[in-house]
Amino acid sequence: MSKPAEQAWKDILESTNAQFNPRGKNTVIECLQFGGNREFWDSFASSKAIRRYFYECYAYAVDKIGFLKTHENIVCTVIIIEKVRRNLFVWYAPITEKWTSKVMSNVKSEQGNRLQRYDEFGDPLYAKHTDIDAPRLSSSEFWKARGGLTSYSDLQEDFYNKISSNYGAERGESKSYLKNTNAEQARRFQRMDGDLYDEPPPYDDVPF
């Protein structure tokens, strides 16, 4: 990098005209990490071959997390090829051109804040937005646009099928709760109602 990460991040917001409303603990930068165990790396003929694999991983990352499938929102990329550590890190700003927002009513709360509108069935109303000229910097909306609850595990599954399986990688057992597992994942890992990871265990928050 030719400048501090914070400045590179600010430059990305300016170049993409990303709208950002800081509140609470906003996630303003994220990282995709690509790696593997010793057995996986032993299958590569040289460090040059590993680097070529990481280039392929980077192209995959741009396609999946890049703003409009470009590298415009990528802050920096780091390749580490050492004897005991081989990783690719892709740091990016979660900018999305698609998001949803609450539909507000004219009714106000006791504090004077407008309340969300509901339909005739009592369900809250939301509006969908698409704007490539003024996108949103929002981690939650970024991942909602990519599938919501199962978006990250879907990404892992897709990467395995398209990239790492071609290099002899193997995937372990899924330990995600069934409600966070889509139909394809449930089929692949032979998941069903009532299995070990069907629902989270009961939580007792009584202090005594």
Q: What percent of the chain has pLDDT over 90?
A: 62
CB 124 within 8 A of CB 102: yes
Number of H helices, E strands in the chain: 6, 9
Average pLDDT, the chain: 88
Least confident of 8-17, 87-96, 167-176: 167-176
Q: Decide the pairing of beta strands 30-34 and 86-92.
A: antiparallel
With bands split at pLDDT 50, 70 and 90, how would you rate the model's confidence at 169?
confident
* 174-179 mean pLDDT: 64
* 5-9 mean pLDDT: 94
57-70, pLDDT tens digit by residue? Answer: 999 999 999 999 99
- Give the model's pLDDT for residue 100: 93
Measured CA to CA, the distance from residue 62 to residue 90 in angstroms comes to: 9
Tell which wins on pLDDT, 171 or 123: 123
Long-range contacts of 164-171 (CB under 8 A, 24+ apart): 164/36, 167/40, 167/43, 167/44, 167/53, 168/40, 168/43, 169/36, 169/40
